[in-house]
Amino acid sequence: MVVVAIIALLAAIGLPGYLRARKRSQGTSIKNDLRLIDGAIDQYALEYNLAVGPVAWSALARYFKPGTQLSQGNGILTGVNYSAAAYAIDSALIVPNVAYTALSDVLEDSFWSPYPTS
């Protein structure tokens, strides 16, 4: 009985830290996805000598490693769909609302810099 109580106590201490670390790593992954998308937009603009204008996801998908979630337009969190967003050359990418809402209890707004949250 004492062993069970000790295990329960250790779980109660460790679980919140684990969940917080998991959310921070998801946020870091989303921020990295935004950096990769930003780089793909820049590469597309350089290849086609464009300064302004919209970019379709189908044009960007070839700049990502085939078979990855990002190449398919998906993020690490359920509901993050990069292929549904509109992208423009030389404009700031915005953190997906689904990600911001799901992770806002752990990640402050300054974490997402340089990407705006709305």
Residue-level pLDDT at 31:
95
Cβ atoms of 54 and 86 closer than 8 Å = yes
Write down the pTM of the prediction: 0.86
pLDDT beyond 90 at 27: yes
Q: What is the DSSP string of 60-87?
A: HGGGS-TTSTTTTTB-SSTT-BGGGS-E
- Segment 43-77, tens digit of pLDDT: 999 999 998 999 999 999 999 999 999 999 998 88
Lookup result for tokens 């000598």: 49
Residue-level pLDDT at 22:
92
Give the Å distances, CA to CA, from 47 to 43, 44, 60, 72, 82.
Answer: 6, 5, 12, 22, 22
